[in-house]
Structures are given as C-alpha cells and as structure tokens.
Amino acid sequence: MKPSSPPCFAVAPMLDWTDRHDRYFLRLISPHVQLYTEMITCHALLHGPRQRLLRYHPQEHPLVLQLGGSDPHDLAQCVRLACAMGYDEINLNLGCPSDRVQQGRFGACLMAEPQRVADCYAAMQEASSVPISVKHRLGIDGRDSEEQLYEFVETLRDAGCRRFIVHARIAILKGLSPKENREIPPLRYEQVHALKRRYPELWISLNGGLRDVDTSIAQLQYVDAVMLGREAYHNPYILAELEHRLYGTALPSRASILQAYLPFVDQELAEGCPLTQLTRHILGLFQGQPGARRWRQHLSEHAHRRGAGRAVIEDAWALLEAP
C-alpha cells in the first residue's frame, strides 16, 4: 500500500460533473490538487461498461476512484479492478443522501450501520494495493450526536481506516433533497476540528461550504486537508490561486490554461465526443473577468449545434477581448 499522504486540497466527487473531461481540465489548472471520479456504483462497474467507467487520462493523477456499495464482496471486486487500472486511492461513499442511493443501501444511510461499513472497509483493504478512504457526514437524522460520530469513526479505525473525508453537516435522509442537504443542515466545522484533536493519528479532510481561498487555507490549521465542491466547478481558477498560496507555484493565466486544453479538445472531438461535453466544464474559467458573460453565452448557444468544433471555443475566447 502506498504510504504517502494525499495532497492537502482536493475537488470533491460530484455526480455528472467530475467526469474525465472535467478532471483533465482541472489538472491543467492545478498540478497538486487531488481529483476524484464521480461516484460509480458497484453494480454499474461489475455489470456495466467497466472500461468506459474507469477510463481516465494519465495526466489526471493523483486520482481517486469513488465507489458506492454496501456488499463487501462486490466492493472488493471493484477495488481489484481499480487497482489494475492504476488509481492512486479508492474512496467509499458514505455521504450521499439521495433516495435512489438509499434504495441501493449505500451512501449516507450506511452511517447507521458502522459494523457493516467496517466489514466493507476490511474487504476493500484486503483487496487493495493502494490506500482506501471514506467520505461521510457528521451523522444522519436520528444518529447525529458527537458520541455516535466517534463510535462510527472508531469502528472504522479499528478496521484499519486512516483516511476520513468529513462533510461538515449531518444528512437528513427523510424530507430533504440532495441539494437541500447541501444547504439546510448547518455547517459544523468545529466538530470536524474536534474529530482531528481526538484522533490526531488519523488523516482528516474537511468538506462543505468552502468557497474562497482564505477560508480554505484557514481550515488547514485544524485539519490535514480541505475538499472543495461546487465552487471549484463554477469558479475553477480558485484551484490555481490555492495552488499558488499552498505550493508557491506561479499563477497561470486563464488564457494559457485554455490554450493547453485545446489539443485535448481536438483529440476528443476526433474520437466522436460532442463539443458540449468538453465546453460545459470550462464555462466558469473566466468567472469574475471582463467578458465572462459573453464567453459563457457564446459557448452555451453554439456548442450544441451540429458540427460544432474547436472554432466555437476560439470565437468565444475572442469575445473576451471585445469592448
């Protein structure tokens, strides 16, 4: 098992967002940020198009595969597939609150079954040549006390887990949508800080509500890492600013990032990928810059058209210079 610790900042796994095109683009912005796949269920991986689901570009490393499942045997099988594909880490989703995920008996609802999660973790670890981490909430409705959180973490710790990514909210499994579960339960950063103080030997990353560089860096006084979610998608250049502050690397221009992305666009278009799958991830590149609205509007209006190609991006780029 690789012993090194992950980078101190990451982009969260986000369904329908952090696909391989997005991850390639984000890697151009930040050499150090840890990237995660979208959650892939064990059922999809074992019975679906596994090569397509696991495909990634070598430039995406360090890259984590996030799995959703609750059967130790199935999870172990998926871990073996992931290791064979060269992923740097595998993460178990214990935080998604959607009804569909609950019906599959995985995600946040598993926080009610610490021993089952520990059994899953042990099976995954035994099958793996890379680290296994878990991503979870502070708790779920009816099981949200600090003592229950400590019990959950200790059960996993005793099974061998050393890497925890904690979304600093509880999940309300009945009555709230996934979007509401990202907004309504209050953020409780202090509980994540307390978790790190109580278990200093564990590697703990904080996730939830991080929207600016200063707040993200301030959290590193209390935890080992921070994980950004939707802000990193809507305003991806924040990763360059974090990279600069944390590692002292030079700030790349947005234009240089886009220029580096274009050969990838050409390659994907040549393989039959629709332009919209490539442009939807770059809409926020010029967030806050003059002409950003024209940039987004042009891409949104033209990328979906039949025969649309690289010229759509170049034309949108030219509009940034327009008065």
Would you say 74 and 46 are in contact if contact means Cβ atoms under 8 Å apart? yes
Where exactly are the structural domains of the chain?
9-247, 254-319
Q: Which fold has domain 254-319?
A: Four Helix Bundle (Hemerythrin (Met), subunit A) (1.20.120)
Name the phi and psi angles at 96, rounded to 5.
-75, 125
> Looking at residue 103, what is its pLDDT?
72
Model confidence pLDDT, tens digit, residues 67-124: 999 999 999 999 999 999 999 999 999 999 888 777 777 899 999 999 999 999 999 9
> Looking at residue 2, what is its pLDDT?
43
Which CATH number is 9-247 given? 3.20.20.70
Q: Is the pLDDT reported for residue 1 higher than 60?
A: no
Model confidence pLDDT, tens digit, residues 24-81: 999 999 999 999 999 999 999 999 999 999 999 999 999 999 999 999 999 999 999 9
Q: Which residues are catalytic?
A: 96
**Residues of the chain with pLDDT > 70: what percent?**
98
Would you say 14 and 229 are in contact if contact means Cβ atoms under 8 Å apart? yes
> Looking at residue 33, what is its pLDDT?
97
175 falls in which pLDDT band (50, 70, 90)?
Answer: confident
Would you say 29 and 261 are in contact if contact means Cβ atoms under 8 Å apart? no
**Pairwise CA distance, residues 33 & 243, whole Å:** 8
Model confidence pLDDT, tens digit, residues 264-310: 999 999 999 999 999 999 999 999 999 999 999 999 999 999 999 99
Q: Is the pLDDT reported for residue 3 higher than 70?
A: no
254: tokens are 């947005």
> Looking at residue 98, what is its pLDDT?
86
